[in-house]
Structure 1
Amino acid sequence: MTKYSLLVIPIVIGIIAVGFLAFYPESENNTKKLTPSKLIENGSPISGDSNAPITILEWGDYQCTYCYKFHQNTLNKINEDFIKTGKVKLVFKDFPLNGPDSVLAAEASYCAEDQKKYWEYHNELYKNWGGERTGWITRSSLDDFASTVGLDLETFNTCLDEHKYQDKVNALYEFGREIGIDATPSFLIFNGEEIIKIRGNQPLEVFLKTIDEL
């Protein structure tokens, strides 16, 4: 066996492994029965052109390390090349794995949606990410983020005090579990005919290949 062959084999094996984990379609019957409208409903507002032929549905947690990394790196490229150009739309659904603080942050994002500032607040949460279960999500910090994006604090705090969106966030989590979501970030990328599941913060190339396939 040549030195060249020894170098190539691990690379090929790595590509096959990543390809299988990233692109193997969800085989559970309940996922196969899902429609694009069913997947999108009850989530965030759509980012991008609502008529874009491909949808990226992200399941995330505001404390999740790899969700943060996805938003800081991969998402920027997808946003510039695909979302802003009308080829792809993005929807976010909460899958709060890290306890009550993650649920509260998710509630806050929907309180911001009441004032038409969902994505601004969503991005502010990830911009100020402080780790998993470190205590950075507090009522005080959530108010600071609200002020930064220009929310009316009285309305925002009333929404949080009443836990207006707690049931919504919990329902999203349960729906995710029902269709096989078990980690964050997880992605369902689909057109009108096929759903491809990506688990974890995979390299940009994985997302580009998936979009190309669809």
Structure 2
Amino acid sequence: MPTSTSTSKSKPLMIVSGVAVAAVLAGLASYTATKPASPGASGSSSVAEVSADPSAGVYADLEAYARRDASDKLALGRADAPVVLIEYADFKCGYCGKFARDTEPVLVKKYVEKGVLRIEWRNFPIFGEESENAARASWAAGRQGRFWEFHKAAYAEGAKEKGFGKERLAALAKEAGVADLGRFAKDSDSAAAREAVGKDQEQGYALGATSTPSFLINGRPIAGAQPLETFTEAIEAAAKAAPSKGEQ
């Protein structure tokens, strides 16, 4: 689906299914976006304390949220992959970082590299100015083909504790291999960056997402940095349900 139509359809989708999906997301998660505690620290777990019902409904209308744009620099995997995982996330979110470090690399190796899964990123900054700055910076890094490298650097262990001020974002861009840092700075502050981030936010709010990370897997909402098994089960169920190329 072309990116230009994604957000224009968000309001009708919200009327059709957004209320129900918002209720699903609200029921699935209630947590703060702080860094998960280390295992054993005061008896706490490193896994976000959220619950997910593996039989949670699939909303066919929400499959239209997938853009499947082959030129999208903020996506991994084939545009025609049978399963699309959309992630709505904030670079200041500790649980988003946990997903990025612990779960996403496994999904990439197991499903993206085999052509089963496509991952589409949506900037969903909800924690203030630094979140907004990081979101626009990630988009700017993507303009030079280095979004995923920036994503890795920004979600490295301890990275968010250093903040996302202008100098820090430039350092992350350099670490990510962004070639033209002058262009990166201009792109980060551009109207185009604000528009792109705003489009992602609008889609997330239309979905009913109120916390990060939030996900859609072929129209199935999942909230929180769930265990790996939650994602593998949802991806495999979606792949099984997806029409074969001959049926499309």
Same fold (TM over 0.5): yes
1:130 CA drift (Å):
3.6
Task: List structure 1 runs of 4+ shifted beyond 6 angstroms.
Answer: none
Determine helix, strand or coil for the equivalent of 1:73.
helix
Correspondence for 1:153: 181
Aligned to 1:51: 80
After superposition, give the CA deviation of every residue in 1:38-91 in whole Å (9 maximum; x if it has no partner). Answer: 432787532012221101101100000100011111112111111111111100
**Sequence identity percentage:** 28
The answer to whether residue 222 in structure 2 is matched with residue 198 in structure 1 is yes
| Residue segments in structure 2 that go unaligned for 5+ positions in a row | 1-49, 239-248
Q: Which residue of 2 aligns with 1:90?
A: 119
SS at match of 2:217: strand
Question: What pairs up with 1:35-46 in 2 under 5 angstroms?
Answer: 35-36=63-64, 38-40=65-67, 45-46=74-75
**3-state DSSP class of the match of 2:85?**
strand
Cα distance 1:186–1:114, how it changes in 2: closer, same or farther (>3 A)? same
Contact 2:52 2:222 in 1 (8 A): no
Structure 1 SS opposite 2:75: coil
| 57-66 vs 204-213, greater mean Cα deviation | 204-213
What is the distance in 1 between the residues matched to 2:124 and 2:67?
14
Contact 1:58–1:185 under 8 Å retained in 2: yes
The equivalent residue for 1:25 is 57
Separation in 2, partners of 1:51, 1:204: 24
Shift of 1:135: 5.9
TM-score, scaled to structure 1? 0.78
Distance 1:75 1:23 in 2: 22
Q: Name which one, 1 or 2, has greater alpha-carbon Rg.
A: 1
* Aligned partner letter, 1:164: A
Offset from partner CA, 1:169-195 (integer Å, 9 cap, x none): 1232122111211111111001xxxx2
Aligned mates of 2:79, 2:188 — CA distance in 1: 29
Listed as ranges, the gaps of 5+ residues in structure 1 are 1-16
SS at match of 2:221: strand
CA contact (8 A) 2:212 2:224 kept: yes
AA partner of residue 233 (structure 2): K
Aligned length: 186
Which of the numbers 100, 103, 128 marks the counterpart of 1:74?
103
Kept in 1, the 8 Å contact 2:213–2:223? The answer is yes
Maintained 8 Å contact 2:141/2:150: yes
